[in-house]
Amino acid sequence: MFLNRLDIGSEAILSPTGLCDLIQKDYQPEIISSCKLIEQYFSAHAYINELPSSVSEVVQLLFRKLDDEIKHLFLKESGIVFPYIKKNYHNTKKSTENKVDPKVFDSVQHTHQTIIGLIQNIRKLLNNYVVKPASSKEWKECVGEMFTLENHIFQWIHIEQSLLYPKVTNFKITDLRKHNHKQTLN
C-alpha cells in the first residue's frame, strides 16, 4: 500500500499539509506519467489489433474521459483546495475553525466516483488486464501501464478520502461513509 512512502514516525506527513504535499509530489506526477504513456500508445495506434474495433474505440474514449477527469481534479486541488488547506492548517492535525466546506468534499467525492467508474469500465473491457500471449509487446506494456495507473489512482483516492478530507471537514470517517451512502442513494 502507500505506507511504504511514508516515514511512519513523522507526524508532519500525516498532517493535512503533509498529505497535500504527498499527493502533489508523489501521486499526481506518477498518475500523469502513466496517463502520458498510455496516451502515447493510443496516439500511435488508432486501432488496437488485439481488440475488436468497437471495443478499441470505447477503451480509447473511456481512457480520454478518465484522463480529462483526472487532469481537471488535479488542477482544482492544486489551484484551489490544497492551497486553502495549507493556508489554514499549517501542519496541525485538526483545526476547529476554517473547515473545508462539505460541498468541496462532495465535488471531489463525485469526481472520485466518476474516475472509479471509468477505471472499472476500462478494466472490464480489457478483460481484467489479462492479455493474450500473442499480443504485441507494446500492447502488453500499455495494459500493464493501465494496471499501474489504476493502482496509483486507488491509492491516491484512499489517501484523500480516508486521511485528508476527514481531517479538514467536519466529517469523521463514519460520517463520510454515511454521507457517501446517502449520496449513492440520491
Q: 3-class SS at 171?
A: coil
List pLDDT tens digits, range 155-186: 999 999 999 988 887 654 444 445 444 544 44
- The answer for residues whose C-beta is within 8 angstroms of residue 108's C-beta and 6 or more apart is 73, 76, 77, 81, 160, 165
The mean pLDDT of the chain is 85
Q: How many CA atoms lie within 13 A of 80 on its CB side?
A: 11
Q: How far apart are CA 81 and CA 75, in angstroms?
A: 9
**108 contacts 160 by C-beta, under 8 angstroms:** yes
Of residues 18 and 93, more confidently modeled: 18
Helix axes 137-158, 102-125, angle to 10 degrees: 150
The pLDDT of residue 173 is 45
Q: How far apart are CA 70 and CA 98, in angstroms?
A: 27
Q: Summarize the confidence of residues 113-126 as an average pLDDT.
A: 98
Q: How far apart are CA 90 and CA 73, in angstroms?
A: 23
Helical (H) or strand (E) element with 157: helix 137-158
Residues found in the chain: 186
Q: Summarize the confidence of residues 44-68 as an average pLDDT.
A: 94
Q: How far apart are CA 55 and CA 57, in angstroms?
A: 5
Q: Which residue has the cell 489551484?
A: 79
List pLDDT tens digits, range 130-144: 999 999 999 999 999
Q: How far apart are CA 77 and CA 90, in angstroms?
A: 17
The pLDDT of residue 131 is 95
Q: Summarize the confidence of residues 90-108 as an average pLDDT.
A: 66
Q: Summarize the confidence of residues 62-66 as an average pLDDT.
A: 98
Phi-psi region of 48 (alpha: psi -120 to 50; beta: other; left: phi over 0): beta
